Structure 1
Amino acid sequence: MAQDSQSRTARRKQKKGQKKPIWKRIVLIASILILAMIIGVGALFTYYIATAPEIDAEKLSAPFSSKIYDKNGELFADLGSTQRTKISYSDLPPVLKDAVIATEDSRFFEHPGIDIWRIGGAIVANLTNGFGSEGASTITQQVVEKAFLSPEKKLSLKVQEQWLALKLEQKYSKKEILEFYLNKIYYGNGAYGVAKAAEVYFGVTDLSELTLPQAAILAGLPQRPSAYNPFKNPELTKHRMNTVLNLMVMHDKISKEEADKAREVDIPSLLEESEPNESSYDAFLEKVRKEVAEKVDGADIYTDGLKIYTTLDTKAQEYVEYLMSDAEDNPIPYYDDEMQAGMVVLDTQNGAIRAIGGGRNREKGDYNYALDIKRQPGSNVKPITVYGPAIEYLKWSTYHQINDDKPYEIEGSSPIRDYLRTYPGWVSIRTALADSLNVPAVKTLKEVGIDKAKPFAESIGYEFANDNMNIRDAIGGTQTVTNPLEMAGAYRAFANEGIYNEPYAVTKVVFPGGKEVDTKPEPEAVMSDYTAYMISDMLKTAITEGTGTNANIPGLPVAGKTGTTNREGLDGANDSWFTGYTTNYTISVWTGYDKTRALENTQIPHALFKYTMMKLSEGKETADFEKPDSVVETAVEEGSRPAKLPSDYTPDSQIVTELFVKGNTPSKTSERYDVLDPVSGLKAEYDKDSSSIQVEWDHDSNDVEFQVSASIDGGSMQKLSSTDEKSLEISNVEPGSDYEIQVVAVSKDDSSDTSEAKTTSVKVPGDEEDEDDKEDKKDDKESVGPVSGLSATYNQEEKFLDVSWQYDGPAASFNVKVTPGGGNQNVQSQGIEISNVQEGKTYTITVTAMGEDGSKSDPVTIQSQIPASEEAPPGPPDEPGPPDEPGQTDEGDTGSEDDGSSGAKTDTEKSDQPTEGNGNENNKENPQE
């Protein structure tokens, strides 16, 4: 029984446990978690509070300026050290106190340092409108942040800020805290504290004289000192003033009628006549300010008491500002006062900004044309969007050929044309880039593809409008705009072996408490070293031979590129660019007007670049760009497509040296200028049995056939046969005639590729004359011998071929045969003039002495080539050459039918002495050169 009772009791307890509600378990677990979170948060907050800095009275009252150091660690700017006038609470007029408290902290005199109601409102606003939409800092918290903490948006700093605000309120009165605030806050234009701001903007030295509008302006300035600068932006200032007036009405500081009357004021009428200008490095400091604000969580170089280490080269900065001034000895030929300019100088090795030229005669706070200008880059962009990607992805050589034969048509849009509207035909990309040709650039981008070109350009800091790239970005003619800082950064990657990092002005920032923030960007390899080197080499050509010659610096290895843009409705360029570099410095320059006026001179950027680079390079070794192992320098035959190696016969004038990516060099040798070897061992004998002439010769090549021709008794040379064999039988010969046999080797691949002609002679005996009798007759008479010293000289001025020879033997006349043309005549003199010769042709002249008894000497032959016109050299036979110049014809086109005449005339008064050369030398000439 006892056992059963215990069992029933256990079962009842089990059932009771099973009936316990699930929600109680959830509540229990949630309570434990919440308690754990509270303990954790409490512990974390306790840690934050324990590590908060101590309140230092000296930092609350003493001037607290930021110190800026140059690249050598030398102080060059102490922001806020002089623009400060300290006042006490009793100096503050009620209108100013009311304006400040209504704007910044309406319950300032009521809360203990932090405003719970304001914090609640800020939390709601941040939840509904996004984090950061509304702040909750009281005036006390702002004083603490400026004096003891960094401006970073961290939870730890916010906790410390609120803790220190409570402590500050316990140690100091409200009046003292407001005094700290109004003496420390930054009001723009270098003015720290409200007293100095009143003097800078309104010329007021006694704060009791401040009017309501002036007090409202001062109360609104600290939120955004640069944007609300009344000297620069009076409309924005008035908008901010009206906001302050509305807050004063809302918090019962003034009536609506007083506010409405204050709104009627004209802002410029309140201000001093001119804005202060006390910083000599303002263009550079503007970049420092922006960079610190971006990289150090909103830190302010004018208010946070920072030590900022920069990349500034003070000598470079001062020289740039001198070139942009109206100094009497300034070498830059500015042609009016309105033209503006912007310039950025980078260290090529690391991307550090060494100087910034923000504008001509620029004053503090003026528009910064180096950083803020946004204009189309024109052809300055071609290495970035076109030729860099082509070499990187397609591994094009600097010789790669593109046909620039006509405008590039775009469906639904105007065609893209070369600037000069002349189209040279086939050009290398080196020439296309150096001469800034538009059509080859567009064709290149089309072949590379935007899918490759866009990420390449973006990798070196070039940003496209609306993240969109199109075909006109090849020539910088779209909505995408840029500035000298961006262009200098992109070009520097080519100068620095393909390594890119964002241009920077600040290396590190040190906070008052000793905390350091390193702000140098990390470098990144964004392209192959072969791309960087080959672009640099082509850009050197652009300066020495192309559009950038005015920027060339003899003795200094410089690369660079021009760029201009034209705007519809303007007669001329609206913007002019030059960006260039050495291994030490990279410089980008822009010049121009507003968008309604054209430039009269587009060469000013060249001059600014040249003088700046020369100055910076004085006394400094400038190494040339070092060719990497991935690049091969190779000689190619100019005009070959694709690139071919020159042959042994290619003229030196037709050989160019270009750069190729390793593994992509040409392997085929050009045959354009090759000369086939002539036949050797040529002989001809009369075979009495077959009454024929047997001709034999030899040749080393099997890729040729042989063209055999013959002339009879000094007549014109007539083609007999073409054969693959090395012998030929000439039948049906004429008895008693003299035969001259000619053999020419002809390429089987190209019939225009022929060798030098070789000739031999043979006499066929007559039918009725006994050979012994002929020999007896010959013995009775002195036989004629061949002429000697045969020469042919072209008279360039009178356009004729002057032929002369010598003869020492019995009386004789001379048979002269000229081919091509078929000329054949007998003369008594020892020379003739051959007129109507054609440029570029090779003429064969054969002279045979003719005795009075009918005997003939062995013929003597010479070849002479008439020089081709330099303006239009003959193109390769298997490829289209450049377009003919007006008035010229292709080689072989004489413009009239061949009448068979050689155009020779007898020179009866010619000297017996030859004028130049001899037959053997002339026979070795290359007929295609």
Structure 2
Amino acid sequence: MTDKYQTREERRKQLQSENNNKKPKEKKPKGKKKGAKQIFKRIFLVLISLGIIGIIAGAITFAVMVKDAPELDANVLKDSISSTIYDMDDKPIEKIGAVNRDYVKYEDIPDLVKDAFIATEDSRFFKHHGIDPIRLGGAVIANFTNGFGSEGASTITQQVVKNFFFNQPQKTLSRKAQEAWLAIQLERKYTKQEIFEMYVNKIFMSENMSGVKTAAKVYFDKDLDELTLPEAAMLAGMPQAPNAYNPFKNPDRAEKRRNIVLSLMNQHGYISDSEMKEAQAASLTESIVAEDKRETSDMKYDPFIKQVISEIEDKYPDVNVYTDGLEIHTTLDTKAQDYVDKVMYEGNVVEFPDEDFQAGISLLDTKTGGILALGGDRDPDVKLGFNYATENPRQPGSTIKPILDYGPAIEYLKWGTYETVEDKPTTYNDTAKTPINNFDNKFLGSMSIREALARSRNIPALEAFRAAGADNAQEFASNLGIKLNEMYESYSIGGLGGKDEGITSLQLAGAYSAFGNEGVYNAPHSVRYFTLNDGTKINMEPESEVAMQDYTAFMVTDMMKSVVNSAYGTGSTANVPGLPMAGKTGTTNYSADDIQKYNIPAGASPDAWFAGYTTNYTMAVWTGYAKRQNYLRSNTVSNDQRIAQLLFKNIMQYISQDVETADFKMPDSVEKVSIEKGTYPARLASSYTPSSQIISEYAVKGNIVQKVSEKYNKLDPAKNAKASYDKDNDAVNLTWSYGDTSDVKFDVSVSINGGAAEQLTTTSDTSLKIAKPDPDSTYTFTITAKSSSMTSDAVTASVKVPAKLEEQPATDENETVDDDTKTDDENTGTEEDKKNNNNGNGNGNNNSNNGNGNNNGNNGNNGNGNGNNKDDEEADENEPDENENEPDENEADESTQTEDAADQSQQSTTP
């Protein structure tokens, strides 16, 4: 053995020595390890405690939330409650409820329909027990991410609970807890088949009906077992938003929703890819019932009730007016509605051109915006059909001008009603520089905005729009409930386009009511309030909003008064005599392409409007056809384009009977201004302005025009003064011309051969005749116009009377006689003698009429002398007929003289 042998004791000592020589190992502190374990234990215990506390708190909270949950009443699960509608006087007018429902048993529901609804509404319906934890988890995450209510987790069972037991129009945590609690109970008491049967018979499917079986009949005229895959999918997609996905009203949206349902059916394995694609390609509009074959309704106030339903469903989508037993209190004026129906349906108050002619009428309370009556369709048999008053956006034509043009100009620029605008050739500011025209293709030059609106001139409206600015116009319209997505210059005359297809008569009536309500806008509404089945009252009246300054409302209103009561206003057909009212006409045009495409005659229009108001009522009327190619004939051919005005007049006259109608009150922010007629830009009337030349206008206080007219400080002189000698009748004729002679008289004096001037007369006529003038004498006349305290510069005119030829001796037959005592039969002699005698009478009478005294039968010169002694009052009483001696101005202007005549007749004018 090579190794040295060692005893056990030696080996032990050696090992001990080696161990002593080794470096000792570092030992970890025992305290730190122990501390980490203790922290972990504490955290774990805290979490466990919090979890327990959370569970306890959640349980307590859940218990508190569900303690007030309704009992799971079997009777409630079977019965639905109709709603009652009341008029403005709280008298019941109609009951609407789930009467239009065909009940279907579970075993009679085709698998195709079951699969469509389950895939869409609750894919794990047959697996959960009332609540779907997976769906609930996804909804919780979505609600934390996007806010409470962003995504629902309701199962079909929960929807049954909600539809039967809850109708509160708000989403709350307590309601969700109660739904979940009742859903669990429902699953315990009823089978899945029974719950599904409750669901498909209860769901609201628009068109005043509930239940899938009824919907199949209404929309497709089929029983459930006759439905195709795309038809079943469309019905399954409706419960989420029944009115939005109504295929009659919104076929495009309904088709998109149907295709989503088909995708879900494919996703959950109910149909193949090829079946899905084939069904998605099917046309929805070809499968639904044609409009002329749809069910009709005997509901008396159909258009109005449809609006009531729409308002509640839009604002409170969880409320079902057909099943929730609501008490709905409306703004309906049954007297007004009955008359609107009479006018619309009977056609003997206003004559319509044919059966296809349509009208949309919206009648509001000016002060509240409450809808008093609606004329929605001329066919009374259509069941909750298309409403031309509320669902028919059309281009408004010139009815938009107060809203986009003149209203903003007064609101933001403080224009007065006399502001001058120019009706002249103009183009839009587009790249093509498209010309803008008036309806008559004429240009009338300068005018006030009052006249421009009353005459419905397009170019001045565009000028006002440009001055106010597109942004201001858009804001002004928005304040009146007309939300325009875009703003082009063509909008200024009602040519809406692009994203803005038009406005409805209800929107227009709402906007106009603010003008009549001192600038305060109340959104049109048909429901004042409604109460739920549990007695909860929900107010529906909108809050009043100040849409414009009171000066804007008053001044636009006063301008629109001129539309109906001025000689040049376009709305005179709508005027109700004696009723303070304002309004505006509107028509629209066909494009060049439409004219060619539909062979439209000149002057035809697709739309005609009239909107107007009193302090009590506001009404907007649209007339036209459903199909654009059917046109309204021009006023020169028929009254088609005036029917809107006739409808307005008849209805407004009827409802205003025995009702006190106050005039529109001028606010303190407005001043009345006296403007001199025909001044552009406007000038204040001076103290010399004739009363006939003064018009009343309005201005914003502190913004009155400052310049005063000087036109009438001195009267204009007479013009075209001319004196001439009439050889045949031996008389001097004096004529002159003047503009408006209504308040003007003329002083006429004469000087013979340069002698002293003597006044002949003061007359309102513009001509004078002197018989038997002195021969070989020059007569110089002076004419001065005067009115009140003003006089004009004098003008003169002269004429030389030639020397008289030697007279021939008279025969017995030509002896002078007293014409006043001799009849025409007694005036014998030659024709020339008769002429002389008659001229004597005529000259004498004429001079007498001019205030020249007792001249009948006497020598002309003597008559003149005597006449000069008459005073002005006697002269006035003997003035001739205004038209008797009126000269022809054109003849006077265009007359020429030979050199010989110039020696006898001279004319001069002194400024």
TM-score w.r.t. length of structure 2: 0.70
Distance 2:716 2:112 in 1: 107
Q: Secondary structure of the residue that 2:674 maps to in structure 1?
A: strand
Residue 452 in 1 paired to residue 415 in 2? Answer: no
Residue 322 in 1 paired to residue 298 in 2? Answer: no
Deviations 1:301-347 (Å, cap 9, x if unpaired)?
3354433222222333333233333x3x5322322333332221111
> In structure 2, what is the equivalent of residue 567 of structure 1?
590
> In structure 2, what is the equivalent of residue 638 of structure 1?
677
Distance 1:627 1:547 in 2: 24
Deviations 1:875-928 (Å, cap 9, x if unpaired)?
xxxxxxxxxxxx988x9977879989789789xxxxxxxxxxxxxxxxxxxx99
Identify the range of structure 1 (123-132 vs 502-511) with the bigger mean alpha-carbon deviation: 123-132
C-alpha distance 440-788 of structure 1, shift in aligned 2 (>3 A): closer
Q: Secondary structure of the residue that 1:144 maps to in structure 2?
A: helix
Shift of 1:490: 0.9
C-alpha distance 59-344 of structure 1, shift in aligned 2 (>3 A): same
Equivalent in 798, 803, 823 of residue 799 of structure 2 = 823
Deviations 1:236-273 (Å, cap 9, x if unpaired)?
76776666566566656678899899899997678699
C-alpha distance 420-644 of structure 1, shift in aligned 2 (>3 A): same
Identify the range of structure 1 (246-255 vs 151-160) with the bigger mean alpha-carbon deviation: 246-255
Is this contact kept in 2: 1:589–1:605, CA < 8 A? yes
Identify the range of structure 1 (122-131 vs 364-373) with the bigger mean alpha-carbon deviation: 122-131
Distance 1:454 1:826 in 2: 78
Distance 1:469 1:257 in 2: 46
C-alpha distance 832-898 of structure 1, shift in aligned 2 (>3 A): farther
> In structure 2, what is the equivalent of residue 295 of structure 1?
315
Distance 1:291 1:677 in 2: 66
Is this contact kept in 2: 1:787–1:860, CA < 8 A? no
Distance 2:81 2:118 in 1: 23
Is this contact kept in 2: 1:352–1:504, CA < 8 A? yes
Shift of 1:28: 10
Is this contact kept in 2: 1:633–1:659, CA < 8 A? yes
Deviations 1:259-306 (Å, cap 9, x if unpaired)?
899899997678699322223433223332332233335534335443
> In structure 2, what is the equivalent of residue 491 of structure 1?
512
> In structure 1, what is the equivalent of residue 201 of structure 2?
183
Q: As a proportion of its length, which structure holds more strand?
A: 1
Q: Secondary structure of the residue that 1:566 maps to in structure 2?
A: coil
Distance 1:233 1:625 in 2: 42
Identify the range of structure 1 (642-651 vs 479-488) with the bigger mean alpha-carbon deviation: 642-651
Which amino acid counterpart does residue 359 of structure 2 have in structure 1?
A
Residue 388 in 1 paired to residue 388 in 2? Answer: no
> In structure 2, what is the equivalent of residue 803 of structure 1?
770
Is this contact kept in 2: 1:818–1:902, CA < 8 A? no
> In structure 1, what is the equivalent of residue 533 of structure 2?
512
Is this contact kept in 1: 2:753–2:778, CA < 8 A? no
Please give the residue correspondences for 1:180-579 in structure 2 after superposition, counting only pairs within 5 Å: 180-198=198-216, 200=218, 218-226=235-243, 228-229=245-246, 274-278=293-297, 279-296=299-316, 298-325=318-345, 327=346, 329-361=347-379, 363-408=382-427, 410=429, 412-464=432-484, 466=485, 468-479=486-497, 480=500, 481-545=502-566, 546-569=569-592, 570=595, 571=601, 572-579=604-611
Q: Secondary structure of the residue that 1:445 maps to in structure 2?
A: helix
Shift of 1:591: 1.9
> In structure 1, what is the equivalent of residue 713 of structure 2?
674
Deviations 1:641-662 (Å, cap 9, x if unpaired)?
4444434443332121222333
Is this contact kept in 2: 1:63–1:84, CA < 8 A? no
Shift of 1:457: 2.3
> In structure 2, what is the equivalent of residue 602 of structure 1?
641
RMSD: 5.3
C-alpha distance 35-471 of structure 1, shift in aligned 2 (>3 A): farther
Is this contact kept in 2: 1:787–1:805, CA < 8 A? no
Please give the residue correspondences for 1:705-720 in structure 2 after superposition, counting only pairs within 5 Å: none
Which amino acid counterpart does residue 769 of structure 2 have in structure 1?
D
> In structure 1, what is the equivalent of residue 14 of structure 2?
none
Is this contact kept in 2: 1:152–1:297, CA < 8 A? no
Q: Secondary structure of the residue that 1:602 maps to in structure 2?
A: helix
Which amino acid counterpart does residue 78 of structure 2 have in structure 1?
S
> In structure 1, what is the equivalent of residue 614 of structure 2?
582
> In structure 1, what is the equivalent of residue 728 of structure 2?
none
C-alpha distance 13-321 of structure 1, shift in aligned 2 (>3 A): farther
> In structure 2, what is the equivalent of residue 613 of structure 1?
652
Which amino acid counterpart does residue 609 of structure 2 have in structure 1?
W
Q: Secondary structure of the residue that 1:356 maps to in structure 2?
A: strand
> In structure 2, what is the equivalent of residue 627 of structure 1?
666
Q: Secondary structure of the residue that 1:454 maps to in structure 2?
A: helix
Deviations 1:124-146 (Å, cap 9, x if unpaired)?
66788998675321121111111
Is this contact kept in 2: 1:814–1:828, CA < 8 A? no
> In structure 2, what is the equivalent of residue 152 of structure 1?
170
TM-score w.r.t. length of structure 1: 0.69
C-alpha distance 26-94 of structure 1, shift in aligned 2 (>3 A): closer
Deviations 1:160-195 (Å, cap 9, x if unpaired)?
221221232234343433333233222333222345
C-alpha distance 760-269 of structure 1, shift in aligned 2 (>3 A): closer
Please give the residue correspondences for 1:765-776 in structure 2 after superposition, counting only pairs within 5 Å: none
Deviations 1:14-63 (Å, cap 9, x if unpaired)?
99999999999999999999888777666554432233333333322112
Distance 2:563 2:535 in 1: 50
C-alpha distance 574-902 of structure 1, shift in aligned 2 (>3 A): farther
Which amino acid counterpart does residue 799 of structure 2 have in structure 1?
G
Deviations 1:715-757 (Å, cap 9, x if unpaired)?
xxxxxxxxxxxxxxxxxxxxxxxxxxxxxxxxxxxxxxxx999
Distance 2:185 2:676 in 1: 84
Structure 2 gap ranges (5+): 1-28, 596-600, 634-639, 718-745, 783-795, 806-835, 842-864
Residue 78 in 1 paired to residue 95 in 2? Answer: yes
C-alpha distance 28-141 of structure 1, shift in aligned 2 (>3 A): same
Distance 2:438 2:271 in 1: 68
Distance 1:52 1:197 in 2: 32
Deviations 1:39-93 (Å, cap 9, x if unpaired)?
7666554432233333333322112333332222223332224223445556556
Which amino acid counterpart does residue 658 of structure 2 have in structure 1?
G
> In structure 2, what is the equivalent of residue 884 of structure 1?
none
Distance 1:238 1:470 in 2: 33
Percent identity reads 44
C-alpha distance 636-283 of structure 1, shift in aligned 2 (>3 A): same
Structure 1 gap ranges (5+): 1-11, 679-754, 764-784, 834-855, 871-886, 907-926
Which amino acid counterpart does residue 646 of structure 2 have in structure 1?
A
Is this contact kept in 1: 2:776–2:800, CA < 8 A? no
> In structure 1, what is the equivalent of residue 788 of structure 2?
none
Which amino acid counterpart does residue 550 of structure 2 have in structure 1?
D
Q: Secondary structure of the residue that 2:77 maps to in structure 1?
A: helix
Residue 658 in 1 paired to residue 697 in 2? Answer: yes
C-alpha distance 560-172 of structure 1, shift in aligned 2 (>3 A): same
Which amino acid counterpart does residue 526 of structure 1 have in structure 2?
A
Deviations 1:540-580 (Å, cap 9, x if unpaired)?
11012201111111121121001112121234322221111
Distance 1:238 1:445 in 2: 41
> In structure 2, what is the equivalent of residue 49 of structure 1?
66
Which amino acid counterpart does residue 530 of structure 2 have in structure 1?
V
Which amino acid counterpart does residue 458 of structure 1 have in structure 2?
S
> In structure 1, what is the equivalent of residue 792 of structure 2?
none
Is this contact kept in 2: 1:409–1:415, CA < 8 A? yes
Shift of 1:586: 0.7
Q: Secondary structure of the residue that 2:75 maps to in structure 1?
A: helix
C-alpha distance 227-395 of structure 1, shift in aligned 2 (>3 A): closer
C-alpha distance 58-640 of structure 1, shift in aligned 2 (>3 A): same
